[in-house]
Structure 1
Amino acid sequence: MPEVYWNHNVHYQRLVMTLVPEGCERALDVGCGDGLLVSKLAARLPTVTGADRSAEAIAMARRQHGDLDNVTFVAADYLDDPKGLLPEGKYDLVTAVAVIHHADFREAVNGLVRLLAPGGRLVVVGLAKERTPLDWIICLSGQAVSHVLKLFHGGKRNPGVPAMAPVMSWGEVARSSRALLPGSRFRRLLLRRYLLVWDKPS
């Protein structure tokens, strides 16, 4: 039985689930880690793929969720996939939680968009860097909320996947999102996260 745990990324998986588009048949979770979000998507969708460039993370995901018939886990990098393990233009939903700050923002966004089928939806929960006084006010407010939630859920835990600090500020991410993904929706969240949603034109 997979361990039940809570952290900032897990907290927003419920939000991701509310954004699954109607008629979604194939979903891909990029940077799937231990596969927890994949397992939640698999409860609603016919086919779900979890991809992570970390072989250790994929091994963990297979141990915990490999018994799901409609799930495939692949050790693959969405930015460098010479074997074509992640076919371009095939997924109705691509999710990326705490992933794209590990690469150049433009390159990351373009890489995710390539995977989307026409009419597909991109859902990103990302991190950014505090740079302005307002950034720090929101950050401190989020830390207070995080402390309460951590106590409520019995502690904040990391399932053992790599982490990296963001380099782009909140404002830079918002401006770059508007430029790269016209019509996208950007929303700042508490717990040092933002939400980016974009529907690929049909």
Structure 2
Amino acid sequence: MPEAYWNHNVHYQQLVLKLLPEGCEHALDVGCGDGLLVSRLAARVPAVTGADRSAEAMVLARRRYGDLDNVTFVETDYLDDPKGLLAEGKYDFVSAVAVIHHADFHDAVNGLVRLLAPGGRLVVVGLGKDRTPLDWIVRLTGQAASHVLKVFHGGKRGPGVPGMSPTTSWGEIAREARRMLPGCRFRRLLLRRYLLTWDKPGR
């Protein structure tokens, strides 16, 4: 098994795992990168798919976790999947960690919701743009916490992936999420992240 590492996204993977619904049969991690979260989901879910549009990420993920019998990695974009590698309405659980700020918020949410089975659960750990004094206070507090955690975990590291700064503010994300996903739960997290969870009606 590859050596574990720590960064802001990995820090919240345990939170994602705690939100797995009972009886989950098929899970999907969108923007799976090197597959670390996929491997952790695979210990709890019978069938797990990791999807990423990066060919380099897929090579790394398959090298690290391709021997897991219940895991499938697919190179595709969840917003542009012409080969249908991701089946709409199939997945009981869809996670997206540090992914949806790479696209228009509405397009990203709609794309993830399409993949959810009726009764399935969506879990997003995302980034927002600082605009208000409170945003900056939370950011500075998070930076202080990050320095402590970084020392405790032996440094902040992980596979290199292209970075992109969010353009939608925390407040805008919260408002649009509640409009698009009635009954969703939105919470600011300390390390420059938010948690969005939503259960799709229908089961």
TM range (shorter): over 0.9
Amino acid at match of 1:159: P
**Structure 2 equivalent of residue 129 of structure 1:** 129
**Structure 2 equivalent of residue 19 of structure 1:** 19
TM-superposed deviation, 1:15: 0.2
TM-superposed deviation, 1:5: 0.8
Q: Secondary structure at the match of 1:165?
A: coil
Amino acid at match of 1:151: V
TM-superposed deviation, 1:103: 0.1
Q: Secondary structure at the match of 1:113?
A: helix
Matches within 5 A, 1:6-155: 6-155=6-155
Tell me the matched-pair count.
202
Amino acid at match of 2:22: E
TM-superposed deviation, 1:4: 1.6
TM-superposed deviation, 1:121: 0.3
TM-superposed deviation, 1:160: 1.6
TM-superposed deviation, 1:141: 0.2
TM-score by length of 2: 0.98
Amino acid at match of 1:197: T
- Range moving further from structure 2, 26-35 or 162-171: 162-171
Q: Output the CA distance in 1 between the equivalents of 2:172 and 2:159.
A: 29
1:135-167 CA distances to partner (integer Å, 9 max, x unpaired)? 000000000000000000000013122221100
Amino acid at match of 2:179: A
Amino acid at match of 2:125: V
Q: Is 1:191 aligned to 2:180, yes or no?
A: no
Q: Output the CA distance in 1 between the equivalents of 2:35 and 2:193.
A: 20
1:12-54 CA distances to partner (integer Å, 9 max, x unpaired)? 0000000000010000000000000000000011000000000
Divergent runs of 4+, >4 A: none
Q: Percent identity among equivalent residues?
A: 80
Q: Output the CA distance in 1 between the equivalents of 2:197 and 2:132.
A: 24
Q: Secondary structure at the match of 1:68?
A: coil
Q: Output the CA distance in 1 between the equivalents of 2:160 and 2:41.
A: 21
Q: Secondary structure at the match of 1:124?
A: strand
TM-superposed deviation, 1:123: 0.2
**Structure 2 equivalent of residue 158 of structure 1:** 158
Unaligned runs of 5+ in 2: none
Q: Output the CA distance in 2 between the equivalents of 1:161 and 1:2.
A: 18
**Structure 1 equivalent of residue 5 of structure 2:** 5
Unaligned runs of 5+ in 1: none
TM-score by length of 1: 0.99
